[in-house]
Each structure stands twice: as C-alpha cells, then as structure tokens.
Amino acid sequence: MEWIKIAKIAVQLIVAIGIYNVWLVRFGKSTKWRGGSATDMKSEFEAYGMPHWFMMVIGFMKVTFATLLIAGIWFPMLVAPAAIGLTSLMVGAIGMHIKVKDPLLKSLPAFTMFSLSLILALISLEDFLKLIS
C-alpha cells in the first residue's frame, strides 16, 4: 500500500506544479496550448469571451487548489476538496476550448489535469468522508 501513497503524492505534485506553471510561470507567455489565437492568459480569456475579473477569479481558485494539493501531503483531508475543485474548473477549461472550436490537441493539458484531478478526488474522497462523519 505504500506505493499507492507515493503515487498519490506524485500525482498531487504533478497537478500542482502544472497549475503553477500555467498560472504563475507562463501566464504572460505564448504556448501552443492557448485557446483560440491567444498569445497569453489575458488574450486567452478574451478569446473565450470572458472578462478580466473572471480570469483573476479562476486563476486565484486554481492556484489555491494547487496549494491545497501540496498541503495535502501533510494534511490529507485537503486533497479531496482541492481535487474536486480542480476537476470542476478543468471541465470549464475543456468547455472553453470546445466553445472556440480549438483542435482537440489544444485541450490535451486541460483534459490531462481533469483526469488526474478526478483520480485524486476519487481516491481521496473516502479519507475526507471519514474525517467529516
């Protein structure tokens, strides 16, 4: 069972670092994954038809959930809520790529983060439910 715990922590780190990379490191940079013809995060949200304040809210939520995943290494009860939150946000990200008719490849990072967050949510939910009951 120890390998499952190590794998879970590895996935938490992969998701958190991925979120930090997008929202903190590459926020103002162009990547091949940006929606529409966007060259940075601000123009990506504009391509989706979303206001600047919404981008800030989404960014805050994603970075907060990523931080909770890191904290979840020491406080496992934080993993399920953070993973559920990120899973929900990734559904929205995938939806935005569909909205602007992006090629499927551009949705790959969002789909990957969705899948990993969903796995974390499912395997952590039992621990969370034990804690609150």
What is the mean pLDDT of the segment spanning 90-104?
95
CA–CA distance, 65 with 63 (Å, rounded to integer): 6
Sign of the Cα torsion 13, 19, 21, 25 reads negative
CB 83 within 8 A of CB 69: yes
Name the pLDDT band for 109 (thresholds 50, 70, 90).
very high
* Average per-residue pLDDT for the chain: 93
CB 65 within 8 A of CB 22: no
Length of the chain: 133
Name the pLDDT band for 1 (thresholds 50, 70, 90).
low
pLDDT exceeds cutoff 70 at 47: yes
Burial profile 41-64: b = 16 or more Cβ within 10 angstroms, e = fewer: bebbbbbbebeeeebeebbeebbe
CA of residue 3 relative to chain centroid, distance: 24
pLDDT exceeds cutoff 90 at 132: no
pLDDT exceeds cutoff 80 at 71: yes
CA–CA distance, 75 with 68 (Å, rounded to integer): 9
